[in-house]
Structure 1
Amino acid sequence: MKQWSGVMAWARHCVAIARDLRAPGLMLDADPDAITRCLHLPAVELNQAMFIPPEYTDRTYRVDGHPIPGGSCRSGVVVMDRLSYGDPGVLLAAPGPSLSGLAVNAVGDAEQRGRYFERFAKEPTWTFFALTEHGKGSAALELQTRLHQAGPEEYLLHGDKRYIGNGASAQIGVVFCRRAPGPFGIEAVLIDTAAPGFSGRRLPTVGLAGVRIGELAFRGVRVTPEMILGADRKPSRRGVFGVRETMLRYRPLLTAMAVGVADAVVDYVRAQRKQMSTHDRTRLDELAGRVYLARARVREVAAAVDAGQPDLPGTSSAKLTAVRLAEEATLLAVELLGATALLEHPWLAKTYRDVRAFEFMDGVGDIHRLLVFQGLLRRASVDWSGLSPGGSQ
């Protein structure tokens, strides 16, 4: 009960500070670089704290005496859900470890983790997570970016990455590349964007402008052994394993963002349209109920991740549901507020565009439908195995 009261205190606090994100969100929609004027916001500070393991910081974020532990998936989904009620774009545009921090924490050695996370205590630092490639998507086993050995203790990185959040604006990031054939030939390397041979440029986007999506080029970027994450690990416990572990923890956070936005849209419609027919109010209430259930579900899958028993099909199912709810909420909002709603309500117009981006983040819907289907097949094979001639039944 004490732990639950702590979670509720975090949620209330996040809702309170999330209100300060609406205006900055609209500002970033027009000028993504304006994020540098938002670093004083408590929500931005909390967003960074969520991705830093407690052993690497002496500034634990507390609410009513309850610490919000960085590195916890369960606390992360509570924070991301409630802060996204304000604006998810500000969170994604803000400095901090984000996805690359999850990768470093998953496969980096103690020295690499310390060197990486201690950097955020010194100055605002933007990061990137470079997996996706043009024509290949995020298929880790099909990477074309390569790490060539140039000497006994030196490698050169060659290749291109595309659709990378904050890629052209970051100071440091993790790049996934191929060093050898086969699934265990994938490596994750930590790159400083000031290194010779690195370049990046932004790509135009319709929504979530603050994320500053870009494409990156690596033309002989020098890589030394200490830059290869988890080089002392077995090949099966780095590279592709790092991708899996990163997405395992990030997917619930992304799902929570979509839930928070859907909730915000429902409340926005209620505030803007005081008088509704019974039919319209029922439709809005039904959507609100589905948002409530989606929130409960994402907290369940996050708790399973923290417990070391992740439900991969369940997490994909939760992501599909949350993204669909966010899109449905904006469609219903436009219907209930009228044909000119997107012209008369700037926040709604921005949110209408922003939520469409969730479909493409962390894998498109069809990938997650396939993961859910594969999970159902595995479960069915276990359930039916006992009915086979050699089974116990």
Structure 2
Amino acid sequence: MTINFTESEERRALRRAVADLAGKYGQEYFTAKAKAGEKTDELWAEAGRLGYLGVAVPEEYGGGGGGIGDLAAVCEELARAGCPLLLTVVSPAICATVIARFGTAEQKRRWLPGFADGTTKMAFAITESDAGSNSHQLSTSLRRDGDEWVLGGGKTFISGVDEVEAVMVVARHVAPGAGAPQDAGSGRRLLLPSLVIVPTNAPGFTYRHIPMEVLSPEKQFTCFFDDVRLPSDALVGSEDAGLAQLFAGLNPERIMAASFATGMARRALDQASEYARTRTVWDTPIGAHQGIAHPLAQCAIQVELARLMTQKAAALYDAGEDRAAGEAANMAKYAAGEAVAGAVDQAIQVHGGNGLSSEYGLGAMLAASRLSRIAPVSREMILNFVAQHTLKLPRSY
């Protein structure tokens, strides 16, 4: 297929519009909300009204009809302006995408218009404390009971549960009967992962805040499902569609996470470059010294390379090339995580002592940038993936 590495005028116009919107709020707004324990509701609502959050939702449901590349551009420009909204990675990217591709007609009518205008937020829950990166070992279970589903188990490090109306949960569908693989000693056949939509007010669903060092209005939670009963139409797609359906949401997550990271990296480089141009020592701007200029230039190169790989991944995904998109999305996520960690670290170094002062806000970015090397998939697991699938090396885990 042919991939255009020059963004369309429509995409560039979208970036400018989102940058203008986010500039009205900025890093001071984002930081103040986070420190006060408040949400960025005003920014989210305005972005929704203007159609930016719904750019990838099909037009028939009120969206822009674009692709994941358009939504990634929105995410990146918000982050560059100092407003990295984590739920853009989750709600309109993972949840809306999965429902648009695999949901029933009623699920699409129920959820997609809200994703399109930003009035709906949905979290996504896959991570478990004992499974970690091994999505094949999830213990959260889903079973049939008459016309209902019963969900049991728990999830951890789930973003934004306190500000959404529902959570899309990845669970193992457990069915009675013989077959392989079997759950040892139970005689139950373990099927592939299933996706269910769980309202946050469902009886038996509770959650607990996880205190984090990352300064963000969007919090992390541990979720508990104590025999949560759900109607039959809570299931999204097939009950045993497995990893193919799951990765229809996870590949956009990696693309969005890469854009989230490159947006932060560009923010850090903007600040560092401005400081290096204006900070004068011995009558010379510090940016005139190669000891300052060269490391910043190296960071800029790495950020642009990560952005280019992210664009490739988005183009492949939007073209329906899921296998190639998965490889590219993992590479983009890796490159972006390394780029943002390096850019923020160098920006702090350029600022000297000011780099860790509250006035400049770079210290708060340090933990967030480091998180990009861990979540939503660690750099080590990406290296495992590339070694096995790209280089055809023996599996190491």
Superposition pairs of residues 342-361 of structure 1, within 5 angstroms: 342-361=356-375
Contact map agreement 1:164 1:213 (CA 8 A) in 2: yes
**1:296 aligned to which of 308, 311, 314:** 308
Query: What are the ranges of 5 or more consecutive residues in structure 2 without an aligned counterpart?
Result: 175-181, 183-188, 278-284
Aligned position for 1:390: none
How far, CA to CA, are the matches of 2:227 and 2:76 in structure 1?
Answer: 40
Superposition pairs of residues 15-164 of structure 1, within 5 angstroms: 15-19=19-23, 20-42=25-47, 45-57=50-62, 60=64, 69-70=65-66, 72-92=67-87, 96-120=91-115, 124-150=119-145, 152-164=146-158
- Is residue 2:350 matched to residue 1:336? yes
Deviations 1:268-293 (A, max 9, x none): 01112321213311221222122222
Secondary structure of 1:38's partner?
A: helix
Secondary structure of 1:160's partner?
A: strand
Distance 1:3 1:320, change over 3 A: closer
Aligned residues: 365
Query: What are the ranges of 5 or more consecutive residues in structure 1 without an aligned counterpart?
Result: 61-68, 382-393
- TM-score scaled to structure 1, two decimals? 0.84
Contact map agreement 2:51 2:116 (CA 8 A) in 1: no
Q: What residue identity is the alignment partner of 1:246?
A: G
Contact map agreement 1:88 1:257 (CA 8 A) in 2: no
How far, CA to CA, are the matches of 1:162 and 1:4 in structure 2?
Answer: 39
Report % sequence identity: 21
Deviation at 1:329, TM superposition (A): 0.9
Q: What residue identity is the alignment partner of 1:363?
A: V
Aligned position for 1:365: 379
Distance 1:178 1:214, change over 3 A: same
Deviations 1:125-163 (A, max 9, x none): 33111111112124322111112333x212321111110
Deviation at 1:240, TM superposition (A): 2.7
Q: What residue identity is the alignment partner of 1:100?
A: C
Deviation at 1:91, TM superposition (A): 4.9
Contact map agreement 1:167 1:213 (CA 8 A) in 2: yes
Distance 1:210 1:46, change over 3 A: farther
Distance 1:304 1:14, change over 3 A: same
Superposition pairs of residues 217-236 of structure 1, within 5 angstroms: 217-231=224-238, 235=240
How far, CA to CA, are the matches of 2:315 and 2:88 in structure 1?
Answer: 26
Deviation at 1:121, TM superposition (A): 6.6
Deviations 1:300-334 (A, max 9, x none): 12111111223323321221111111111111112
How far, CA to CA, are the matches of 1:9 and 1:118 in structure 2?
Answer: 23
Bigger CA drift: 343-352 or 129-138? 343-352
For the aligned residue pairs, the C-alpha RMSD in angstroms reads 2.7
Distance 1:138 1:104, change over 3 A: farther
